[in-house]
Amino acid sequence: MKEDGHILIIDDNEDLLKSMVQLLKNEFKKIDTLKNPNIIPEYLINNNPDVILLDMNFSAGQQTGNEGIFWLREILKTNRSAIVYLITAFGDTELAVKAIKEGGTDFIVKPWDPAKLIVSLKAGIKLRRSQTQLEKLESTKCFLLNDLDNQYDPLLGSSPAMKRIYDIINKVAATDANVLITGENGTGKELVAREIHRKSERADMIFIHVDLGSITTTLFESELFGYIKGAFTDARSDRQGRFEIASGGTLFLDEVGNLPYDMQSKILTSIQKKAITRVGSNQEISLDFRLISATNHNLHSLIEKNLFREDLYFRLKTIEIDIPPLRERTGDINIIADYFFSKFGVKYRKDPLKIENDVYILLNNYRWPGNIRELRNTIESTVIMCDNNTIKPADINLNYSHKSKDETLIPLDAIEKEAVRKALERANGNISGAAKLLDISRTTLYSKIKKHDL
């Protein structure tokens, strides 16, 4: 059975190349040859061989090995971890040792023993894979530790809106389709992304969260695509970027609407090709990741203003999940509030907490402009500041400043739509019950449901 490896042989002797190919073609899946070493840089732009066999001398009459050393250095500039075996003449031990000091992996002495050559190349392929795996493990370590330090809240809610979202998650998780999650700040977009990952076939692999709004323009490429040693002043070693680390798992691009326009083409190219090139390198690296994106911006509006690329939008959105604001899913407020009261009661040693009924009335009558994030923070501060284990309405500190600025500007249609939605939720979808709550006829309710597309 052939080894799943890619071998590149560089030698100006055509007979040697032919005999090498004849020997190795049944052992390895891909064999490439180059007679002219000047083609090496161009070749390495589009190819990433596992092992390179490099002759030490190319010009007629040359026996110093300096040409081989030169091209070894050039190869290692492109790929610092390249596995390079130097082809040397019998007795050139001193030259071979010099090449290894320069970064060569090993040397092959002419004439070679076919069996030993094949064993050496297979060992080189294993070394290459080990180096690649080690590099990835080191790069992912900090992200995994950071995830362990963060406790992510579950996705909660039993409202019709949330049931629809759960249904979409269950359908899309089993696929590798690109998903775009939209919604206001604090609605739980990252929780939806993590739930998709958790239910996918990549659940055992890494989930990489990239907040595109927090990455400065100067660090954009190096953070996302990585860099090689010497690419810039502080690049003291090779480093993988977020895209590369996510390979095999899920890449979550958060706040994608904040992407500067000139950066969007680079993201689009990487998504389309499922490949990146590290800063300072010309070697393309193929990737395999599941893409989920999120934004609180209206991307259609940004596209109309030429602030967001339409082709990137369609690439991000195979499936779109829109999360309604908390004020439109009031049936979920008590469930989410109870979760946070329990969580922070334990955290701040005030468990079990007693919650007065009027607290829930207060929470349900507030508009929550900051959505679940604001609800979470409000409950945490309430639990910290309450004098005993009983939470009373007076303990809840709500920010009503939003009300005077925003609510007077709400169109009547929006108020009517929200009233109908709330009535349907409270009546569990029963038309007669909802009509009774609104004090209108069933016929009128049907017309309003059709009008607001509910």
Domain ranges of the chain: 3-129, 159-322, 328-405, 410-451
Q: Identify the pLDDT of residue 63.
A: 72
Distance CA 20, CA 13 (A): 11
**Model confidence pLDDT, tens digit, residues 336-363:** 999 999 999 999 999 889 999 999 999 9
Q: Identify the pLDDT of residue 5.
A: 86
Using CB atoms within 10 Å of the CB of residue 229, give its burial: 0 to 12 exposed, 13 to 18 middle, 19+ buried. middle
Q: Where does 3-129 sit in CATH, by number?
A: 3.40.50.2300
Contacts of 269 (CB under 8 A, 6+ apart): none
- List C-alpha distances in Å: 300 to 97, 211, 295, 303, 411: 62, 21, 12, 5, 21
String of DSSP letters for 200-227: STTTTS-EEEEEGGGS-GGGHHHHHH-B
Local structure of residue 296 (DSSP, 8 states): S
Q: Identify the pLDDT of residue 143.
A: 58
Question: Is there a contact between 3 and 28 (Cβ–Cβ < 8 Å)?
Answer: yes
Distance CA 36, CA 177 (A): 44
159-322 and 410-451 agree in CATH topology = no
Longest Cα separation, the chain? 101
Distance CA 424, CA 422 (A): 5
Residue 60 neighbours by CB distance under 10 Å:
6
Q: Where does 328-405 sit in CATH, by number?
A: 1.10.8.60
Q: Identify the pLDDT of residue 91.
A: 61
What the block records as the tokens of 194 is: 């993590």
CATH classification for the domain delimited by 410-451, as one of 3.30.420.40, 3.20.20.100, 3.40.50.300, 1.10.10.60: 1.10.10.60
**Model confidence pLDDT, tens digit, residues 281-300:** 888 899 999 999 999 999 99
Give the DSSP H or E segment for 179: strand 179-182
Q: Spell out, as residue ranges, where the chain has pLDDT lower than 70.
A: 1, 60-62, 90-91, 135-151, 401-414
Q: Identify the pLDDT of residue 145.
A: 52
Contacts of 211 (CB under 8 A, 6+ apart): 254, 255
Architecture of domain 159-322: 3-Layer(aba) Sandwich (3.40)
pTM: 0.64
Distance in angstroms between the alpha carbons of the first and the last residue of the chain: 60
Q: Identify the pLDDT of residue 61.
A: 64
Distance CA 350, CA 394 (A): 18
Long-range CB pairs of 4-7 (<8 Å, 24+ gap) are 4/29, 5/29, 5/30, 5/50, 5/51, 5/121, 5/122, 5/125, 6/30, 6/32, 6/47, 6/48, 6/49, 6/50, 6/51, 7/31, 7/32, 7/49, 7/50, 7/51, 7/52, 7/53, 7/121
